[in-house]
Amino acid sequence: MEKKIRVLVAKAGLDGHDRGAKVVASFFRDAGFEVIYSGLRQTPQMIVDTAIQEDVDVIAISMLSGAHMTIFPKVLDIMKKNGMDDVLLTGGGIMSEEDIKKLEEMGTGRLFGPGSSLTEAVEYIKDWYAKTRGAKES
Amino acid sequence: MDEKAYQRWKEEVAKAKTRDAKFITASGEPVELMGTPDMLKDFDYDRDLGFPGQFPFTRGVHANMYRGRLWTMRQFAGFGTPEDTNARFKYLLENGQTGLSVAFDLPTLMGRDADDPWSEGEVGVCGVSVSSLRDMEILFDGIPLDKVSTSMTINSPAIILLAFYAAVAEKQGVSQEKLRGTIQNDILKEYIAQKEYIFPPQPSMRIIVDMIEYCTEHMPLWNTISISGYHIREAGSTALQELAFTLADGFAYIEAALERGLDIDAFAPRLSFFFNSHNDFFEEIAKFRAARRIYAKRMKEKYGAKKERSWMLRFHTQTAGCTLTAQQPENNIVRVAYQALAAVLGGTQSLHTNSMDETLALPSEKAVKIALRTQQILAYETGVPHTIDPLAGSYFVEDLTNKMEKGAEEYFRKIDELGGVIPAIEKGFFQKEIARAAYQYQVEIENKDRYIVGVNAFKDKDEKIEIPLLQISPETEKRQVERLKQLKRDRNNARVETLLKDLKQAAIENQNLMPVIIECAKAYATVGEMVNTLKEVFGEYQEPTDF
């Protein structure tokens, strides 16, 4: 039986606008992922703690408030400290192409700005999983 | 109707080639191919429309509408330090806007000071940072509060920001009775859609009724709530859900104020509303017209309000942020223009038009100027404001207005069955409806059943975004934190401590909080200090994590 990809969809920082996070969570679930939704106002530490607790393959953070250059690096840092190099950090929201590039260079996975296709995001995660986890499991 | 001609038309329609598209509204509702007289066979002009400025106000709330006064051009603005926003206010006023509207940053919205650990990275980024009366004084420097009307978009700590505004006015020598404006102060939609809540529902409602009670006596020109559908719609609801949930929230506030023993005709004239103007042109216009009619009927027939001004639904509109695209941002100018037109044809009292760059940043000067010019061109070049409610009598629009009203009444029944608005919130009713509608909309986009120009249709290959974007300086946070340190050195800390204790007592003893909060404000207690004091008494709200 194929193992389902486990994704934590998280809202970081003070922002409460969760339409995107919830739509992504539903779409991922309908695409066959096992989805955990963190709820609002999570700190980077809370997000990584939940990710470890729930043994997820992917952390997907929704950020609309412009604080992404503060939050994503913090999450990466905590993930590194916990040796989570086989967990994908992805996400999306309101981010400029420039910022997305910077964060991807820092070590996040692909990030999805406004107007992104959810179908593409699903394919991206499946590909990542096949290449990294799939390779290990075979 | 000529039966033969009608039948022939129906047959030709059935045989005609149809484009491969879904003929649905932005809300997913099927659209009538054409309005016909039979749709209005039960139509009664006096019962269903009446005259502008008279029950049931379907056609508008003032007798001569925009010939008497154009809608207020009120651009939501705020970013960085209070100095930055003060400059933007002056820029907008110089360019012809006719009312102020303040956007606060997330820390302020959530009742946290700029130096709160949660505020890191968020100070001045989504709006202006205001942690104390000192910030408010700078924000309104050189702006006479007896000469402008100001709308403040703030909810959980609204009572504090209103106190700041009154305190600034006092320093200017302007008494509270002269203050004109609106405070959003709509906590119910926070639980439902925007999620900027702090305290649980019951104490939050108590604070709102305190403000209604206080303002009815001391600030008679001030709109005490802006009962909002905008955020509900932005969260992904349909037009009908926006209409029904907003009105339901309004009725819940009215019932809470009545429970306190307030006289409906004393407070109702200063309740106001705030709707979204989304893409589907006719659906939006019908929504606005239905809103006025539904509200007037309920205020008169259910709540027994006697004054005409208590039956009138007055509203501000904002064009739909969620419809804007990051791709080909100039297209947003066009979207906003159509949405603004719908709002004016719907009879709005006040309008904010979004800037083309708002999918990526807060508005640049150039972009907000275009947004303001959009309103001015609408006002002065199109001729639309010269006549009142021109779509009245349209078979299509009246039928749509009727459908909106019927649909809203059905939702009211459902909400009643659940025990009312707050029980329905606790059961997750609104949240689930909205999430389902939002998901449906996105699936339509993914499947190309709904086109978004530039995003899933008519895309630019290798697009490069080439418009100037507003940058928030990282110095903002440093400056605001430093200002707080200085404030705490300058003020009388013993007095602040005493007043915060008084605030706590007033909260426990069910006294009206407004007077003591005004005293705290004048002593330079901070937003965070006052909110933390109230948290000790009221606790904090946690929502369940379903999606």
Mean pLDDT of A33-58: 97
Q: Tell me the nearest-neighbour CA distance from A26 into chain B, angstroms.
A: 7
Mean pLDDT of B431-442: 97
CB pair distance less than 8 Å for A14 and B546: no
The 3-class SS string of B165-190 reads HHHHHHHHCCCHHHCEEEECCCCHHH
Q: How much is the pLDDT for B547? A: 85
Question: CB neighbours (10 Å) of residue B39?
Answer: 18
Q: Which of B55, B31, B16 is nearest to B307 (CA)?
A: B55
Q: How much is the pLDDT for B465? A: 77
Q: What is the pLDDT of residues B444-492, one digit of tens each?
A: 999 999 999 999 999 999 888 778 889 999 899 999 999 999 999 999 9
Q: Tell me the nearest-neighbour CA distance from A86 into chain B, angstroms.
A: 26
CB B49 within 8 A of CB B59: yes
More confident residue, A97 or B294: B294
pLDDT at B507 over 70: yes
B443: nearest CA in chain A?
A27
Task: Give me the residue from B190, B327, B545 closest to A115, CB to CB.
Answer: B327
Q: Tell me the nearest-neighbour CA distance from B131 into chain A, angstroms.
A: 16
CB pair distance less than 8 Å for B126 and A39: no
- B275 within some domain: yes
DSSP B127-141: SB---SHHHHHHHTT
Residue from A23, A65, A117 whose CB has the most chain B CBs within 10 Å, to mutate: A23
Q: Which of B206, B71, B83 is nearest to B138 (CA)?
A: B83
A67: nearest CA in chain B?
B121
Q: How much is the pLDDT for B362? A: 95
Q: How much is the pLDDT for A136? A: 60
Euclidean distance between CA atoms B120 and A67, whole angstroms: 8
pLDDT at A92 over 70: yes
The predicted model scores a pTM of 0.97
Taking contacts as CB-CB distances below 8 angstroms, the residues of chain B near A69 are: 121
pLDDT at A59 over 70: yes
Interface of A to B at Cβ within 8 Å reads 9, 13-19, 21-23, 25-27, 35, 37-41, 65-67, 69-71, 94, 96-97, 113-115, 117-119
pLDDT at B404 over 90: yes
- B236 within some domain: yes
Taking contacts as CB-CB distances below 8 angstroms, the residues of chain A near B120 are: 67, 70
Q: How much is the pLDDT for A133? A: 79
pLDDT at A138 over 80: no
Helices (H) and strands (E) in chain A, counts: 6, 5
Taking contacts as CB-CB distances below 8 angstroms, the residues of chain B near A21 are: 547
Taking contacts as CB-CB distances below 8 angstroms, the residues of chain B near A14 are: 106-107, 109-110, 112, 118-119, 122
Taking contacts as CB-CB distances below 8 angstroms, the residues of chain A near B360 are: 94, 96, 114
- B397 within some domain: yes
pLDDT at B81 over 80: yes
Mean pLDDT of B193-204: 98
pLDDT at B418 over 90: yes
pLDDT at B337 over 60: yes
Architecture of domain A6-137: 3-Layer(aba) Sandwich (3.40)
Q: How many domains does chain B have?
A: 1
Taking contacts as CB-CB distances below 8 angstroms, the residues of chain B near A22 are: 435, 438-439, 547
pLDDT at A137 over 70: no
| Average of per-residue pLDDT values in chain B | 97
The beta-strand segments (E) located in B224-334 are: 225-228, 271-277, 315-319
CB B287 within 8 A of CB B279: no
Euclidean distance between CA atoms B353 and B321, whole angstroms: 9
- B371 within some domain: yes
Euclidean distance between CA atoms A82 and A75, whole angstroms: 11
Q: How much is the pLDDT for B191? A: 98
Q: How much is the pLDDT for B545? A: 83
Range of the domain at B250: 51-446
Q: What are the φ/ψ torsions at residue B380 (nearest 5 degrees)?
A: -110, -15
Taking contacts as CB-CB distances below 8 angstroms, the residues of chain A near B236 are: 19, 23
Mean pLDDT of B170-180: 98
pLDDT at B544 over 90: no
Q: What is the CATH number of the domain that holds B423?
A: 3.20.20.240
Side-by-side strand order, sheet with B315-319:
B72-73, B350-352, B315-319, B271-277, B225-228
Taking contacts as CB-CB distances below 8 angstroms, the residues of chain B near A38 are: 545
Mean pLDDT of B418-434: 97
CB pair distance less than 8 Å for A94 and B360: yes
A70: nearest CA in chain B?
B121
Task: Give me the residue from B195, B234, B442 closest to A40, CB to CB.
Answer: B195
Q: Tell me the nearest-neighbour CA distance from B234 into chain A, angstroms.
A: 8
Task: Give me the residue from A22, A70, A117 closest to B547, CB to CB.
Answer: A22
Q: Tell me the nearest-neighbour CA distance from B494 into chain A, angstroms.
A: 31
- B45 within some domain: no
**Confidence bin at B303 (pLDDT 50/70/90):** very high
Q: Tell me the nearest-neighbour CA distance from A75 into chain B, angstroms.
A: 14
Taking contacts as CB-CB distances below 8 angstroms, the residues of chain A near B322 are: 19
Q: Tell me the nearest-neighbour CA distance from B40 into chain A, angstroms.
A: 38
CB pair distance less than 8 Å for B438 and A23: yes
Mean pLDDT of B81-106: 97
Q: Tell me the nearest-neighbour CA distance from B13 into chain A, angstroms.
A: 36
Q: What are the φ/ψ torsions at residue B72 (nearest 5 degrees)?
A: -75, 130
Mean pLDDT of B126-140: 98
Q: How much is the pLDDT for A3? A: 84
pLDDT at B509 over 70: yes
Q: What is the pLDDT of residues B380-392, one digit of tens each?
A: 999 999 999 999 9
Q: How much is the pLDDT for B351? A: 98
Q: How much is the pLDDT for A1? A: 56
In the block, residue with structure tokens 């605001």:
B480
CB pair distance less than 8 Å for A17 and B235: yes
Q: What is the DSSP letter of A53?
A: H
Taking contacts as CB-CB distances below 8 angstroms, the residues of chain A near B428 are: none
Euclidean distance between CA atoms B323 and B332, whole angstroms: 8
Q: How much is the pLDDT for B466? A: 76
Q: How much is the pLDDT for B334? A: 98
pLDDT at A135 over 90: no
CB pair distance less than 8 Å for A66 and B472: yes
Residue from A7, A8, A18 whose CB has the most chain B CBs within 10 Å, to mutate: A18
